[in-house]
Structure 1
Amino acid sequence: MLLKFSKRGNTLIVSMCGELDHHSAENVRAKIDNKIDEFGIKNLIFDFSDVNFMDSSGIGVVIGRYKKITEYGGRVGIVSLKPNIKRVFELGGLFKIIKEYKNIEEAIESF
């Protein structure tokens, strides 16, 4: 999985490309955590525009980063979910704790 990072103020935007599954989860987790710590990030946005598959390992990555960010008093948002990925989020109950936004701008404004 390819990750691209950008920063807007105190918000880290993680754009992902590929499959977020048990093969890539640990690497994704480590890279995101390193960037959060490196930049002293408060808020996090996951951009799923180019993610075409996610399994339960991906849920673990998202929930783990949610816990880390909320410990800092920050917020996490999700943007650009494809229908099959959105279904994984629904089944995993992630929308109970993490909000989906139309786009990155809307997420940043709501933070």
Structure 2
Amino acid sequence: MEIRVRSTDGVVILDISGSLDVNSAELVEAVGQCLRDGYHDILCNLEDTDNIDYLGISALVIAYKDVLNHNGRMKFVNVPVQFRNLFSVSGLDRAVEIYASEELAVNSFKEDKVIEDIKKMHLRRRFKRLPIDLKIEIKPKFSRDQSCLQADIINLSAVGCYIFGCSKFRLQDELILKFSIPPDNTILELEAKVV
């Protein structure tokens, strides 16, 4: 087995050629060295791999677990059809991501980073708010007093809106919101909760 190491866009690509078998300890060593060098995004290219036996699968699993234990990501690309069946039988295909092209695989690491950054954000900051100036009618959902209040929607996002002009309601109150959206003035009636 031979391993050629290269890097693109912060992703280390291990081009593995030959057989993944009893002599696959050098794969585990190569992955360990990448992690020690500070690389946590590793892509294994199996395009030139001739043979994989159960010891080779074991080496892949050990390397994969090592990457996970270092908060990294390991993915696979160009896995030949005969080895995909082996990945399927061993259950490895349910644990790892396999891509048909290097470009797709490298881009998936970028997408993962964007998603991680979004998940780290406070919920209210995950979505960009759109400035908007709409009049809105508000009434309580579970109250005998069903009188409507008028207010303004200042901005709107995928998870909520900022309504100005009403301080009658308390946190967790459930409301009915009614407003129209230009240009065709479609009327929307939504249920909401004060947060």
TM-score, L = length of structure 2:
0.52
Question: 1:98-109 alignment to 2 at 5 Å?
Answer: 98-109=96-107
Identity %: 21
Higher relative contact order, structure no. (Cα contacts within 8 Å, ≥ 6 residues apart) = 1
Match of 1:66 in 2: 64
Aligned length: 109
Q: Considering only CA atoms, is the larger Rg found in Structure 1 or Structure 2?
A: 2
CA RMSD of aligned residues (A): 1.4
The more displaced of 1-10 and 88-97 is: 1-10
In structure 1, what is the equivalent of residue 34 of structure 2?
35
Indicate the structure with greater strand content: 2
| Aligned equivalent of 2:50 | 52
Partner-residue secondary structure (3-state), 2:62? helix
Letter aligned with residue 36 of structure 1: L
Aligned residue in 1 for 2:173: none
Unaligned runs of 5+ in 1: none
Cα displacement (A) at 1:25: 1.1
The structure with the greater share of residues assigned to helix is 1
Deviation at 1:83, TM superposition (A): 1.6
Check conservation: 1:52, 1:82, Cα contact below 8 A. no
Q: Is the 8 A contact 1:52 1:85 kept in 2?
A: no
2:108 equivalent in structure 1: 110
Query: Which one-letter code corresponds to 1:35 in the other structure?
Result: C
Deviations 1:25-57, CA, capped at 9 Å, x for gaps: 1122223322331x2111111100000100111
